[in-house]
Amino acid sequence: MFAFCISFLALAQLFAQPDDRWHAGSAKDLKGKVLTLYVFLETAAAPWTTEEKQSKLTELATAQQWLASQASYWNVALECFIKPLGKSETIQTKNVPIGNGSGTERIDWAKEIVKKSGYRNPRQAYRKISRKMGVDNLQLIIFAKAGGISYAMRFAKNNSKRKFFMESVMLFQRYDNDAQMPVAAIIAHEILHLYGAWDLYTTYAQTADRHQKAQELFPDDIMLRVGYDLHQLKVDDLTAWLVGWNKTEQAIYEWFRPADFKQ
């Protein structure tokens, strides 16, 4: 499958992106041509159906179209492509991923997945795919046939490039309590994490007082809340600054930095 979304604007020069160690991996600059690789992770006991896979890919395309529209608002050109990681879009594993929102989840899934797809390591996979596809920025979405809280696996300077350079998202089929979830919004939320965006709600790494302040200043920001109607959400000033779209920095922005994005 191959799909794309385009924001029809001349590519704008980006300013004011925080110059810290988090802008370093395969998903560095959310502008220009950006490739999303995907794979479906399953166990023998719980395989993906064709209909389930198509549903997730539709949600992925919707998420990327929304990101392109948000980039357009900030006068940034964003062209998004979707492509399976390997010859087979499905990989079986013995162990089902765990996502519980604790910050202790396994973060080296990309290393295992790219090896199963025929690459030596995440760094080599990035080099080969980026050259072939003509892109500088790419990420991997791992659709897991399990319940859990989805999470981003980011790369930072001084991390092992052979293990972590391919930045990725573990996207669960449903929540850990088996409830359905707003998939497109969660995909967009997690992709923004890879490009430097911070959570603005209370987590293991983000404080309640910052959550409360974000509700006052950025009530519709997708890093604060997700929902089924993407039209009610946006990339607000702070998140746009973090991903390099907003050129105007405000003094309060750094106050929102969570513990899991240490400089």
Report the chain's mean pLDDT, rounded to a whole number: 91
Contact 102, 21 (CB under 8 A): no
Give the pLDDT confidence score for residue 96 in this predicted structure: 83
Dihedral over alpha carbons 262, 147, 243, 62 (to 10 degrees): 180
Over the stretch 71-88, which tens digit does the pLDDT of each residue have? 999 999 999 999 999 999
Average pLDDT over residues 95-106: 90
Question: What is the reported pTM?
Answer: 0.92
**Residue 261 pLDDT exceeds 90:** no
Over the stretch 36-72, which tens digit does the pLDDT of each residue have? 999 999 999 999 999 999 999 999 999 999 999 999 9
Average pLDDT over residues 222-250: 96
Full DSSP string of the chain: --EEEE--SPPPPP-----STTS-SSS---SEEEEEEEEEEEBTTBPPPHHHHHHHHHHHHHHHHHHHHHHHHTT--EEEEEEESSSSSEEE-SS-----SSS-S---HHHHHHHHTT-SSHHHHHHHHHHHHT-SEEEEEEEEEEES--EEE---TTS-HHHHSS-EEEEEEE-TTS----HHHHHHHHHHHHTT----S--SSS-HHHHHHHHHH-TTBTTT---S-GGG-B--HHHHHHTT------TTGGGG--GGG--
Contact 247, 17 (CB under 8 A): no
Residue 138 β-bridge partners? 35
**Residue 104 pLDDT exceeds 50:** yes
Give the pLDDT confidence score for residue 8 in this predicted structure: 34
